[in-house]
């Protein structure tokens, strides 16, 4: 398996790149934003992932080891292929980690070929590996109410983590929002 390549960009800069290494040209697909920063005949190092399929052998290259690690994590999610993973990594490691940690489904649904269910799957499967500060709420209606309750409690001076713990303990969905806030306040004042 090829772990990294250092060579000269041989073609006009487009995707995949043709990277000349010791007289051998490697076609390497890279995140789109990399293409803005490089020029033909420039020497670059790419950390690579070799993706083997029945009918193809593809190389994916990244400027940093963090990008490569995120790419490999995304490939571990069922239903996410290398092209989609590459498009996600193109949004930046920090942005993707933040979206996973905060369960931001809308961040992922703006990426082509990535719907809401796969976005939720990415968050659910990777939040334990990357660390999460919020639980994913799969119901859109409750998410709005949960956000309102969270904002109300935070405006009273409670820390975000305390508020999230209080909201998690709410068991009954039959309660009104005011009752949920009262119940959360009782939990917080214990």
Query: How far is the C-alpha of 60 from the C-alpha of 46, rounded, in Å?
Result: 9
29-38 residue pLDDT tens: 999 888 887 8
Q: Which of 85, 110, 130 is where one domain is finished?
A: 130
Choose among 60, 38, 36, 40: nearest CA to 50.
60
Residue 162 within any structural domain of the chain: yes
Pick out the chain residues at pLDDT < 50. 132-142
Tell me the sheet residues that pair with 50: 59
User: 99 and 112 in one domain?
Assistant: yes
* pTM of this structure: 0.66
pLDDT given for residue 48 in this prediction: 93
Query: How far is the C-alpha of 134 from the C-alpha of 124, rounded, in Å?
Result: 11
pLDDT given for residue 142 in this prediction: 43
User: 8 and 56 in one domain?
Assistant: yes
Domains identified in the chain, total number:
3
Choose among 139, 133, 94: nearest CA to 120.
139
pLDDT given for residue 61 in this prediction: 93
Where residue 18 falls (left for φ over 0; alpha for ψ -120 to 50; beta otherwise) is beta
pLDDT given for residue 139 in this prediction: 42
Range of the domain at 145: 140-188
């Amino acid at each position: 398996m090829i772990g990294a390549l250092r060579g000269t960009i041989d073609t006009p800069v487009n995707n995949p790149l043709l990277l000349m290494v010791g007289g051998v040209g490697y076609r390497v697909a890279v995140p789109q934003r990399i293409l803005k920063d490089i020029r033909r005949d420039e020497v670059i190092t790419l950390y690579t992932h070799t993706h083997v399929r029945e009918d193809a052998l593809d190389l994916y290259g990244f400027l940093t080891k963090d990008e490569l690690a995120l790419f490999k994590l995304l490939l571990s999610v069922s239903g996410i292929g290398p092209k989609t993973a590459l498009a996600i990594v193109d949004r930046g490691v920090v942005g993707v980690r933040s979206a996973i940690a905060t369960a931001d489904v809308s961040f992922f649904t703006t990426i082509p070929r990535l719907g809401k269910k796969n976005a939720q799957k990415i968050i659910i499967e990777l939040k334990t590996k990357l660390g999460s500060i919020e639980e994913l709420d799969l119901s859109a209606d409750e998410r709005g109410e949960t956000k309102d309750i969270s904002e109300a409690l935070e405006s009273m001076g409670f820390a975000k983590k305390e508020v999230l713990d209080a909201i998690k303990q709410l068991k009954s969905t039959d309660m009104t929002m005011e009752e949920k806030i009262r119940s959360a306040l009782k939990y917080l004042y214990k």
